Amino acid sequence: MSSQVCKKRERLNNSMDQFSSPSLLQNRSCKTIHNHNNNNQPMFDSKVLPPLPFLPDELVLEILSRLPVKSLMKFRCVCKSWLPLISDPYFVRKHLHLSTQSTHFTHHRIILSATTAEFHLKSCSVTSLFNNPSTLSDDLNYPVKNKYRHDGIVGSCNGLLCFAIKGDCVLLWNPSIRVSKKSPPLGNNWRPGCFTAFGLGYDHLSEDYKVVAVFCDPNEFFSESKVKVYSLKTNSWRKIQDFPHGVSPYQNSGKFVNGTLNWAANCSLGSSSIWVIISLDLHKETYREVLPPDYEKEDCSTPTLGVLKGCLCMNYDYKRTHFVVWLMKDYGVSWSWVKLVSIPYLPNPEDFSYSGPYCVSENGEVLFMFEFDLILYDPRDHSFRYPRIESGKGWFDAEVYIETLVSPVEH
């Protein structure tokens, strides 16, 4: 806590002590009124009661910026001055910064797509999953009304969730403030076998949220993968440089790290191919290859990418006995890869693979998914825990996001 805030708190406490002082109340000569209908008990005239202690605007800002979004949405109705304060871009950025810096996942939630015929989404606290045997969940009201179509979760960035709708457009949605925006259609010539690999990120130099769509057509040999970028500011798609020649991303979303989107991709080398990581700088709109760690290529499955602790991570199955997770501590620096954890497989009659990981706690516990359930693994004693989610079971997809005030319609 800064010395400035401490001084303000001391000033506030002193002022409150003054108001509670009996001598001060006596000196104020509060007028007594007798209520003859209530045994002549005295009561104070509200007009001469001491005023409430004054809180400086700076202190109000510091207090409010640390509160959860749900409370702030209610507090906007408390007084006229709080509505513009909480809606102000500076306050939104300050609240976002404090929320992302929290090491206890205070503002982090996980969205879960249920394995039901109808498209159903739930959300629950990440902190509760780590610390409680049972966690309450909230039903989310998905803005696009098509209950039998399961839209894929592309990713999250600063509280915004991105969903791919039939591979032709995307939805940006902040479930914390219940505001969404749907992009125009991509307009690609889709045919059987084609797919679009999306990715959501933030260009901090232009202060714009961007969605990148890589359109792949395996039917055309040696064809380039066409790339378009959606800008939230302009609400439009724009064609940019094609994906690198001979490289095609897998059908997974790009992972946002350090101003870049990163895809696991297949690079053709004559009659053979290799697994590579392709990175797109969202501001410069240029590509580069990110070198993977020196891993067991011969004995592992095709690696996938993720994000943990704000860092790029890579995971794969090793000999169907362990799930291995690597973390790139310093983005773009190949020697900064470290093996974070190796999770042994549970008895697996259905031959399912682990998915995730979604989060790592301060003590090293890893949150991931096995079959259709969330699991916690503690590498310290090699133990597994199954956190129970109230009124929900069986999950198809998951994504961790932060509760923020960032709106997709105010850019």
Average pLDDT over residues 142-164: 90
Residue 37: per-residue pLDDT: 47
pLDDT band (50, 70, 90) for residue 35: very low
Residue 369 and residue 111 in contact, taking contact as beta carbons nearer than 8 Å = no
pLDDT band (50, 70, 90) for residue 93: very high
Average pLDDT over residues 60-82: 87
pLDDT band (50, 70, 90) for residue 39: low
**What is residue 407's three-state secondary structure?**
coil
**Residue 240 scores a pLDDT above 70:** yes
Q: Which residues contact 254 (CB under 8 A, 6 or more apart)?
A: 155, 197, 198, 199, 200, 201, 212, 214, 261, 262, 263, 280
> If we measure between CA atoms, which residue out of 100, 121, 99, 125 comes closest to residue 110?
125
> If we measure between CA atoms, which residue out of 310, 307, 303 comes closest to residue 324?
303
Residue 131: per-residue pLDDT: 93
pLDDT band (50, 70, 90) for residue 268: confident
Residue 186's DSSP bridge partners are none
Residue 159: per-residue pLDDT: 96
Lowest mean pLDDT among 57-66, 154-163, 179-188, 229-238: 57-66
Q: pTM (2 decimals)?
A: 0.82
pLDDT band (50, 70, 90) for residue 405: very high
Model confidence over 290-300: pLDDT tens digits? 999 988 887 88
In angstroms, how far is CA 155 from the centroid of its own chain? 8
Residue 386 and residue 375 in contact, taking contact as beta carbons nearer than 8 Å = yes
pLDDT band (50, 70, 90) for residue 26: very low
**Residue 241 scores a pLDDT above 90:** yes
Mean residue pLDDT across the chain: 83
**Residue 165 scores a pLDDT above 70:** yes
**Residue 69 scores a pLDDT above 60:** yes
In angstroms, how far is CA 205 from the centroid of its own chain? 20
Lowest mean pLDDT among 24-33, 60-69, 139-148, 166-175: 24-33
Residue 31: per-residue pLDDT: 37
Q: How many residues does the chain have?
A: 411
Average pLDDT over residues 72-95: 88
Residue 128: per-residue pLDDT: 94
Average pLDDT over residues 329-348: 92
Give the residue, 219 or 180, on which the prediction is more confident: 180
Average pLDDT over residues 234-247: 90
Residue 168: per-residue pLDDT: 86
Residue 52: per-residue pLDDT: 62
Residue 153: per-residue pLDDT: 94
Residue 43: per-residue pLDDT: 47
Strand order of the sheet with strand 195-203? Answer: 195-203, 208-216, 226-231, 236-240
Whole-number Å distance between alpha carbons of 225 and 216: 5
Residue 396: per-residue pLDDT: 80
Highest mean pLDDT among 10-24, 293-307, 326-340: 326-340
Give the residue, 46 or 173, on which the prediction is more confident: 173
pLDDT band (50, 70, 90) for residue 30: very low
**Residue 41 scores a pLDDT above 70:** no
